[in-house]
Structure 1
């Protein structure tokens, strides 16, 4: 239930509860702030169990005051860029673009213990604080900068994405650039004791309540703070060494004492536990799927069946049918899926590793694949222009997360409409990471082997034998964009891999020539005739331009998925 209680009382006395008569399920229930500003408590199936009553405008966060009163607050200065995905960061209400930019009219405000991941314009080492400040304030595109004491690391930021504040003392500090005329107040960033063990999302309104004092006086360091920082750093390093030594000792003892089969089982159990998966027995999944009765789809790595868990949640159960390949795929997925969580990626809930059986249990996505809606004449669902643009943006966000935001880079290697599922709101979710391969950040090894693609979506470097990089996904995404726009599967226009590749080259050249002119009438002939006119020509032109750049023969000329996301966000404004 959603309640407020005395945290220091021995029996945790509840003083208020939103739903005392009908508690929600422990899993998948959620308390959310909707776009209209209303706070809503939903059960696992989406049923609204409770909602706040009132006239809400521009609400961005809720706060439990020391008085015990739960209040909903609006924002000042900054707003959430996309309420559907907070990882897109904050956007200033006041225009800070390069039009009539005057660095003398700008100032910085400090957010301690805070970081915005990615979007670094550059990374400078061993520079002074003042030099880092001057770099950002002299660049009209710089939204702020991160500076780390001790190392002198400077990170000017082009965008404010994926913000996090940390409840404990942290060397990371963000300085946000704002016009001098914007006033900020002097309270520190609040942290909830309930969440002190984990980093939380940065609230845009902290812009106004997290600053102790204006910029010139806010950057202060002391010898005491520095000494404590190094002291705790030494203690942490000693602890890490000790834990590593114990872990290695345990590993070698286990190797000597366990038989190979027992050792494999122990390793499997450890991987499952550390991946935050529910472990299912094969018998359980036979019951869940009613003996694998309802087939949802087939792919190169196995077959997917529909199932229903004991708590009535619908799931998709992927059965890896080839034992040898299935084990490799299973190990690869186990090593990464536990760390992947994004609204545009299918979430894996559980696994089965029993004997020769390898199965994955994932969330069930209601509207099936994009391919079934785009290319199946028997399907009466028609995606409107807004829906298609949203799918292009959502898929780009999911791939950008895999390529740039995971602890390890992830290459999907089989991006196609069959692997793009649509939920009840037609929000896209990328699936099938069984063949995904990883590249260690900064590692020298860029070779990826034993990967299969799909005819029509395979980048040229597959054939040429070049090392496989994330740019193969960018190429496949370009093909998906063309199919979203035209409503036609590219590979069905001709037969044979060579013919598909040659046809794509001709199509890309033709579109590139058309884009150089100002005429727009040709877009009508290219966009799916089933779409109602008029549609958004500016967005269509942007999608075509991105598709052309993604389908460059030279992979170095293809954009990154981060760039694609930023371009689409601008077009979506």
Structure 2
């Protein structure tokens, strides 16, 4: 009875699909696109080079957002793929009704819901085909012709590949961030004097910074008399340019895959692919703080070999945008025309390059001071010693390109007297330059496709017929449910991307909550089995009291989060007062259960530290919504069958945020004693640095084998003393002078590890953990910085 009814119900759908196939016929080859054919985003059509090294097609870069791009086919170690060229970098297209077509008139067209986004502007009456070559060049060729009507090599974005000519007609423009390929602030090009240059371009400022503008071309080893204007990176790693600029990569040879990229920070680098990682084999600028605009106006750039580049606002200034420090800083005060209200503070070894409003040679310090003091537009002056008898004075109305330099450079910053009196010779709040890795989400209405009369009739007939059948189906469904009394409610798809279960289904999955596997402050966890035989963990929340709509809104970011080091959420239940989560089951339980045993060796502990850092970095900077964990501890770090870590309970603080004042302040302390940063205790603004502190405590707990929640007894000359874990570790390191072999140092290492550990790795990880647990949150690194340090350590090893 049911099968004929189901076939009858599916009949209109089959009619629509058949009519759609009439509308969207397409002849497609995986290697060549012929005239009149298209690549469709929904069908995931791809062009692959004969050597399978490169792939062209629609590449997803966000929620319902796609680029038509070329990328290296083989993914990197983290699963990401390296894009080498983008057609529509300024305007992504939708994941529906978008296509890339080779028209019969010879034009390549990228369409977004019947709206042209990009075109090659080519025409030809000869037969054509589009092919992706082994070199990564996408070419439009006339059959039996050797020349190209159009090629992607002539229109690079931020990358050139080996043997790709860089000419007077091409430019490289950096991307805005690592996940946003739209045009950034930096450009590589051949200037009118035939010299290859780098320039910073913003709405207010344009300035050349490479080669240095204070050098004449011949002083920088460049030539201006050859107007060929062409450069090339060959397959072995040698770069040659018509202005005589040349270099050879550190791994010169013909066995590597390479790319030259103008990075988001304005530096040119050559990367070599080595074991699924891109390793820098050459870069144009070693001291990256000299790159113009790198920190924006009113800021200082500082470079540390271990931590990389960081930006800081000077005293009296604050960040314009906390999520993107490249936008620079703005004053916390209003400039007053009254000269007597200002004074200067000294910034040793600080230089601001360019944009000086006045220059004097061989003037005294008092004369330079007076010149800036009497100018209401002057914001600072710089007084340098060029030699024993030569002094230079610069005054600035715009503070740009500021960085720490060697001795001989001193800047004096003009500030209100009230700020000068409070100045303690330190810069305020230094933060690493990290542009947000925001994911683009497109929401557009789609234009209707034109259809002929017969197809319209078929569609309207199917719609009417389908409505009648839907009514019958609903009637049949309720009758069947009443008769059997055992039919479960169907899964309902919601915007969060995971599934909804009824409370009856939860009871069935957990066998009426028979097997409890854990409990904590947020709820009780039970083991369960889904109908598809997946073993799951079911967490019953006992503190969430929101209504269903509010609960779903708060669960939305959790449902969209997907990372190999974060627990995958399968579904939820929001029925009556029940608020339940269903997520993947981890065979080896929590890290807390393993720390007191000898099941984890040093290699596994190191991998756990790296995996947890990657998961937290994703939560803080890469997912669609800023998510704080607020309770990072070994109990919330779960281990799968291979001891790979996955962070659990992330985002649950949002489920209980009845008392949140704004996006960065919580009025109620959250977390677990021993893992909580001082910000909670002193009611300071809560940022992602609270998770960094908790992470550092977890790493210290793994290294020492001592609990972070207990005070530890130590014997000293005066008797027995209780010490916190951080204080104990710092004291032993000080006594041992950083020597891991020292007896004092061995006292704090986890005895379960034994001697089977890498001393260099241990020292680096211990140093990193102590940085994470600094009392001052501004002294702690971000989680992305932690990941970078750990990954660089893995590469070195």
TM range (shorter): 0.5 to 0.7
- Distance in 2 (CA, whole Å) between partners of 1:547 and 1:293 is 40
Q: Give a deviation string over 1:227-253, Cα, whole Å, max 9, x none.
A: xxxxxxxxxxxx96989xxxxxxxxxx
Alignment of 1:15-414 (within 5 A): 83=77, 85-87=78-80, 109-110=159-160, 117-118=177-178, 129-130=188-189, 180=239, 273-324=494-545, 330-331=551-552, 333-375=554-596, 382-414=599-631
| 1:432 aligned counterpart, secondary structure | coil
TM-aligned CA distance change 1:436 to 1:64, over 3 Å: same
Structure with greater strand percent: 2
- Distance in 1 (CA, whole Å) between partners of 2:187 and 2:662 is 31
The match for 1:482 among 672, 692, 700 is 700
**Shift of residue 567 of structure 1?**
1.1
**Shift of residue 357 of structure 1?**
1.1
**Shift of residue 482 of structure 1?**
0.9
Check conservation: 1:305, 1:316, Cα contact below 8 A. Answer: yes
**Shift of residue 504 of structure 1?**
3.6
Check conservation: 1:115, 1:146, Cα contact below 8 A. Answer: no
- Distance in 2 (CA, whole Å) between partners of 1:242 and 1:328 is 25
Structure with greater helix percent: 1
- Distance in 2 (CA, whole Å) between partners of 1:393 and 1:468 is 24
2:765 aligned partner: 543
Check conservation: 1:332, 1:437, Cα contact below 8 A. Answer: no
The match for 1:435 among 652, 659, 673 is 652
Check conservation: 2:493, 2:500, Cα contact below 8 A. Answer: yes
- The alignment yields a C-alpha RMSD, in angstroms, of 5.3
- Distance in 1 (CA, whole Å) between partners of 2:578 and 2:160 is 54
* Equivalent residues, number: 385
**Shift of residue 493 of structure 1?**
3.8
TM-aligned CA distance change 1:488 to 1:113, over 3 Å: same
- Distance in 2 (CA, whole Å) between partners of 1:240 and 1:310 is 35
TM-score of the aligned structures, taking structure 1 as reference length = 0.55
TM-aligned CA distance change 1:185 to 1:294, over 3 Å: closer
1:426 aligned partner: 643
TM-aligned CA distance change 1:398 to 1:570, over 3 Å: same
**Shift of residue 490 of structure 1?**
2.3
Check conservation: 1:416, 1:480, Cα contact below 8 A. Answer: yes
**Shift of residue 569 of structure 1?**
1.2
Q: Give a deviation string over 1:366-411, Cα, whole Å, max 9, x none.
A: 1110001113x6xxx6100100000000001111111111222211
Check conservation: 2:510, 2:528, Cα contact below 8 A. Answer: yes
- Distance in 2 (CA, whole Å) between partners of 1:326 and 1:295 is 27
The match for 1:552 among 756, 770, 774 is 774
**Shift of residue 179 of structure 1?**
5.1
The match for 1:458 among 663, 668, 676 is 676
**Shift of residue 358 of structure 1?**
1.0
Check conservation: 1:523, 1:537, Cα contact below 8 A. Answer: no
- Distance in 1 (CA, whole Å) between partners of 2:740 and 2:636 is 35
- Distance in 2 (CA, whole Å) between partners of 1:325 and 1:331 is 9
TM-score of the aligned structures, taking structure 2 as reference length = 0.41
Check conservation: 1:282, 1:357, Cα contact below 8 A. Answer: yes
Q: Give a deviation string over 1:279-338, Cα, whole Å, max 9, x none.
A: 111111110110011111112121111111111111111111235279799456512112
**Shift of residue 489 of structure 1?**
1.4
5+ unaligned residues in a row in structure 1: which ranges?
1-7, 16-62, 91-107, 139-144, 157-174, 188-202, 208-238, 244-268
